[in-house]
Structure 1
Amino acid sequence: MQSKIIEIDKKRLPPDEESSMDVIFDYFPDHEIRISETPTHYHLELKRSNFLYCENVEKGLKALGINKEDVGSFYIEGQQSFFCLLESWIAYGWSKFMSETRYRPDNLTIIHLDDHTDLMSPQISVDNGRCIDMLTRNIVSFSDPESVKNAVQSGAITVGSMMTPLIHYIENVDVLHLMQQVESTSRYINKSTDPDTILDPRQKRISINFTDGPANKRGKNNIYLKTPHFSEIIQNINPETDIFLHIDMDYFNNRFNGSTDWVNYPLKHNLSIDEQKEAMGVFCRKISKAGVISRIKHVSIGVSPSFYPSEYWKEGMTCLLRELNSVGLKVTDLINRLNLKEENVL
């Protein structure tokens, strides 16, 4: 991918250089960044980064039949499913499915298995009712999959913000977040726009904020629930909504957590492959028993190379897809295209 040059006024950043660098790298999380400066501005050369860190990644790539250069653009579309390495592509998968099937419900529930929220603000601003990619100035419309693809490729939609455009596109969305090793919390979703602080303070970026109380006193209020308990997920599914099921493989193991410095931190979520398989089977059996399979209109799966260890990619993906398939979720096309049939894995 081609690099691009961004200019940032130093007045918009903290006065000390170390804090300024932290802000810049947090603002452009999916990029390799080269920085030069003048007395008044930083000049950033940005290039999309495939992943931050992953040990022995060649083993995982071999299982998929791709090279390192393919990581940033690798995805597979099924009829009602989507698979990718970088989670930013999930937004494109949803947009493509909804466009091709002419599907845009008023109400939707997302069951979100992930070690992260993925509700950060993308670099997409609102200008006279239109969404604009702040890095390219191109229009982004969730009803136009190519525009969403372009926003993923530019880095405007990142791995940490990929759910936000969908929630702004659908009128009412509940997010039920299954996450391990957390306390249960429930808040209300407030779709809003917030002033950009780095590129252009005149622009307002689409965002998701949380409130403790309902924002709408008369109409529907959407909830964000984070819980380790599947029973709470089922209890909070609106009985009248369709469901999108999203699974990030780092829900099962998040050894690296996107950091090259991971060895210096305690491993809080590093399940063995046998423990992961057990968790996959338990989840699929529970969701089948809950009787919501027929309401799941789309399944999306992301590997997250900077988070989920490559040594588990093939065995973990194989187990998860087979378990999903066994309870009636339509992922057979992913199994076939990923070449994960029984005889090819043993």
Structure 2
Amino acid sequence: MPESPKGRSTPIFRIPKDRLPGSTTARHGALRDYFCDKDADATLIGDNWEVSLYWPTSTDRHVDPRLLDGLAWWDSTVSPGTMAMSRRRDRYILTSLYDTWTLYSWAQWLNQNPRRPGQKLTLLHFDDHRDFGSPRLFATETGYVDAIAGKVVDIRQPNTILDAIDSGAIGMGSFFTLLFHTFDHLDVRHFCQPPKVRSTSKYEIERYHERDTLLDPTASRPAVKPVPRTGRDGANIYLATNDPEVLLADIPADAPILVHIDMDYFNNRYDGDNAWLERAEALNPPAEEILQEIDRVGRILHDERVLNGISDVSVSFSPGFFPAEFWSAADARLRPLLEKLR
């Protein structure tokens, strides 16, 4: 598709009139909730809405008033309308702006290191969010199909993940779910600061499918939810903690470790919310504390219990969440720590 004034566009969908609210405000909210990272325009033509998608170009959409400063540091050729697809690979480290690329990094690793039934995989997840949302993928008898582009999506084939990120089928907040639905024996360890995590909790991941709410209400999409452990050992385990010792305890010695670092773990001032100034509690430490916390994460990753098992690392700067004013200094502190892992 050619570039549009609003950013690179995707094909137009026709959606029956009754699936979207008549109110402009309510319709905008419904489209934002469904498509998440992409913006959508809907025009009523007869009994159908014609909906077009595009990567948003407005800095207002991304909340952070210094976003353009961050992009200038990252790459002077990248704009708000193109930043969703921007990433870099340096050996075992994939760095991106959108954390959706974490799934692509995992797919690349899995493609080169196929998992056999029963094999364990540990994921260290440094993030201010779980990212367990339902992607816009439709379940079929043989797997999953991109609900937007209509293409097959298979985590064992990285190019299919790339296409699904491009279409918007897989986005920020929903990149974990496909992994849970594809593999058993995942040990997910989520390290998160207060206020979102103040103590340790351990869950089993329940996998299910939920009905699509917009493009095809007869189709179902993969979904997951953490449920409190019953005391037995489950297949996919999710641990949330802010205690490094709990995070590292009983790490399986025979399981490869994939590391994901969303920089909003260190500071999530904006949390993608235009009303961020009104939030009673926010993770918004000053620069000095951010750098100290980066050092702490570095010590965790260099701990002998995990150091030799780390196989892949993904880092995302999360525009509209982690303040752009800190990108350069944080990267300068974090990158040397990651480059010494292998």
Please give the TM-score of this superposition, normalised by the length of structure 1.
Answer: 0.86
Distance 2:126 2:335 in 1: 14
What is the deviation of 1:293? 0.5
The alignment's TM-score, normalised by the length of structure 2, stands at 0.87
CA contact under 8 A between 1:273 and 1:312: conserved in structure 2?
yes
Distance (whole Å) between structure 2 residues aligned to residue 141 and residue 37 of structure 1: 34
Which is further off, 222-231 or 285-294? Answer: 285-294
Q: Are 1:126 and 2:131 counterparts?
A: no
Structure 2 counterpart of 1:84, from 96, 101, 105: 96
Q: 2:332 aligns with which of 295, 318, 322?
A: 318
Conserved? CA contact 2:248–2:305, under 8 Å: no
Aligned: 1:231 with 2:238: no
Within 5 Å, give how 1:84-123 maps onto structure 2: 84-99=96-111, 101-104=112-115, 106-123=119-136
Deviation at 1:307, TM superposition (A): 0.6
- What whole-Å deviation, never above 9, does each CA across 1:133-176 have from its counterpart, x for those lacking one? 00011111112111110000000000111122223232321211
1:262 to 255, 272, 276: 276
Residue correspondence of structure 1 range 125-204 to structure 2 within 5 A: 125-181=138-194, 182-183=197-198, 184-204=200-220
In the alignment, structure 1 residue 34 sits paired with structure 2 residue 41: yes
CA contact (8 A) 1:234 1:290 kept: no
Match for 2:201: what amino acid? T
1:8 equivalent in structure 2: 15
Cα distance between partner residues in 2 of 1:299 and 1:214: 32
| Distance in 2 of aligned mates of 1:278 and 1:321 | 14
Say whether the 8 Å CA contact 2:146–2:152 is kept in structure 1.
yes
Determine the C-alpha separation between the residues in 2 that align with 1:13 and 1:59.
37
- Residue 65 (str. 1) matches residue 75 (str. 2): yes
Partners of 2:25 and 2:75 in 1: how far apart? Answer: 40
Kept in 2, the 8 Å contact 1:3–1:48? The answer is no
Question: What is the distance in 2 between the residues matched to 1:97 and 1:240?
Answer: 17
1-side partners of 2:258 and 2:334: how far apart? 16
Superimposed CA distance per residue, residues 50-105 of structure 1 (whole angstroms, 9 cap, x where no aligned partner): 66232222221222233315412211113222110111122112212322x23436
What is the percentage of aligned positions where both structures have the same residue?
27
Q: Is the 8 A contact 2:105 2:312 kept in 1?
A: no
The match for 1:221 is 235
CA distance in 2, matches of 1:235, 1:102: 25
| Distance (Å, rounded) in 1 between the aligned partners of 2:145 and 2:63 | 30
Residues matched between the structures, number: 325
List runs of 5+ in structure 2 lacking aligned partners: 1-7
Amino acid at match of 1:211: V
> What one-letter code is carried by the residue in structure 2 that aligns with 1:206?
P
CA root-mean-square deviation = 2.4
- CA-to-aligned-CA distance 1:180-237 (integer Å, 9 cap, x gap): 112332211122222212221211111212223459x7x7432111111122211253
Q: Is the Cα contact below 8 Å between 1:122 and 1:157 reproduced in 2?
A: yes
SS across alignment from 1:4: coil
Query: CA 1:176–1:230 in 2, change beyond 3 Å: closer, same or farther?
Result: same
Unaligned runs of 5+ in 1: 331-346
Change over 3 Å in CA distance of 1:42–1:128 after alignment to 2: same
Q: 1:4 to 1:214 in 2, by over 3 A?
A: farther
Partner SS state of residue 49, structure 1: coil
Q: CA deviation at 1:39?
A: 7.5
Deviates more, 1:190-199 or 1:151-160: 190-199
Q: Give, in whole Å, the separation in 2 of the partners of 1:236 and 1:33.
A: 46
Is 1:294 matched up with 2:308?
yes
What amino acid maps onto 2:115 in structure 1? R
Within the alignment, does 1:282 sit opposite 2:296 as a pair? yes
Inter-partner Cα distance in structure 1 for 2:99 and 2:300: 25
Deviations 1:284-314 (A, max 9, x none): 2133235210011111101101111111111
> Does 1:329 pair with 2:329?
no
2:105 match: secondary structure: helix
Q: Which moved more, 1:72-81 or 1:47-56?
A: 47-56
CA distance in 1, matches of 2:329, 2:39: 30
